[in-house]
Copies of this chain bind each other. A is one copy, B any other.
């Protein structure tokens, strides 16, 4: 069995300890995790001389993919009501504080948090990951609430979308596992600008590509749908395409001006391109015209 299949098996197995967890969450997580790790592999080899962390260490890869699967599962818990509201509240509390969940059926949460705490190259990254988790959960909740008629402006939507896209979580988890020093980097305003820009890019890519599916699912938590509801005459797709291109240019400029250590250059590039990769291969999650059935 090749490594990626073993990783998938371990994510699927772990997911069985979470009510509502679906094979799709594991499959999408492994696909995304593999894409990122492949793209930054040469650069991670460089840093491994300093950190001693092997880019191909299976324990680290499994932990990373489990965290990604957790993010997918949490998203669907909010959007698809996979679990009861009181269960979701207990899960969010547990994950954000790094404590076991008070309700049964979510033992995977504590398993994952304990393993990440133990694997953390730098303890500060674990604290950062908990903070990112609290922000992600709050943003999913706010997005869900406003889509019911809250009346956000585009600016407020994007501000929340920065957290709900969970890119900060993904990067903190990578940093925790491979010693990428994200907490020190976050002290630099330019790095936090990069985090905001890459997150807005991911949010706009997600919303543009998921527009048809969200629309047919009655999901209003999407920039295109929100703008079209508020301004029916607005050329929304053209506007958001231009916004996406503008954010990409701003990101490129700050990445050229600032000098971030390896593997942050290739890593941020991978985050820009990961969505295109997803939309080509992951048919069920982002398209409405093809029903079900994902495969790795």
- The interface stretch among A18-26, A29-37, A241-249 is A241-249
Asked if B243 and A154 sit within 8 Å, CB to CB, the answer is yes
Q: Kindly provide the distance from the CB of A184 to the nearest chain B CB, expressed in whole angstroms.
A: 14
Asked if B246 and A153 sit within 8 Å, CB to CB, the answer is yes
Q: How far is the CA of A234 from the CA of B243 in the complex (A)?
A: 15
Please indicate which of the listed interface residues A153, A156, A189, A243 has the most CB atoms of chain B within 10 Å of its own CB. Answer: A153
Q: Which residue of B lies closest to A241 (CB)?
A: B153
Partner of A231, one of B155, B192, B234: B234
The 8 A CB mask of A244-270 against B (1 = contact, 0 = none) is 011101100000000000000000000
The 8 A CB mask of A210-250 against B (1 = contact, 0 = none) is 00000000000000000000110111001100110111011
A152 contacts B by Cβ under 8 Å = yes
Partner of A249, one of B156, B192, B243: B156
A123 contacts B by Cβ under 8 Å = no
A interface, size bucket? 20 to 34
A6 contacts B by Cβ under 8 Å = no
Asked if A245 and B189 sit within 8 Å, CB to CB, the answer is no
Q: How far is the CA of A231 from the CA of B154 in the complex (A)?
A: 16
Q: Which B residues are in CB contact (< 8 Å) with A156?
A: 246, 249-250
Asked if A155 and B250 sit within 8 Å, CB to CB, the answer is yes
Q: How far is the CA of A234 from the CA of B189 in the complex (A)?
A: 34
Please indicate which of the listed interface residues A155, A159, A200, A238 has the most CB atoms of chain B within 10 Å of its own CB. Answer: A155
Q: Which B residues are in CB contact (< 8 Å) with A192?
A: 189
Q: Which B residues are in CB contact (< 8 Å) with A242?
A: 153-154, 230
Q: Which residue of B lies closest to A246 (CB)?
A: B153
Asked if B234 and A233 sit within 8 Å, CB to CB, the answer is yes
Asked if A233 and B230 sit within 8 Å, CB to CB, the answer is no
Asked if B234 and A159 sit within 8 Å, CB to CB, the answer is no
Q: Kindly provide the distance from the CB of A242 to the nearest chain B CB, expressed in whole angstroms.
A: 5
Q: Which B residues are in CB contact (< 8 Å) with A235?
A: 231, 233-234
Q: Which residue of B lies closest to A234 (CB)?
A: B234
Q: Which residue of B lies closest to A235 (CB)?
A: B231
Q: How far is the CA of A235 from the CA of B231 in the complex (A)?
A: 7
A-B contact pairs, 19 of them (CB 8 A): A152-B246, A153-B242, A153-B247, A154-B239, A154-B243, A154-B246, A155-B250, A156-B250, A159-B250, A189-B192, A230-B239, A231-B234, A231-B238, A231-B239, A233-B233, A233-B234, A233-B235, A234-B235, A234-B239
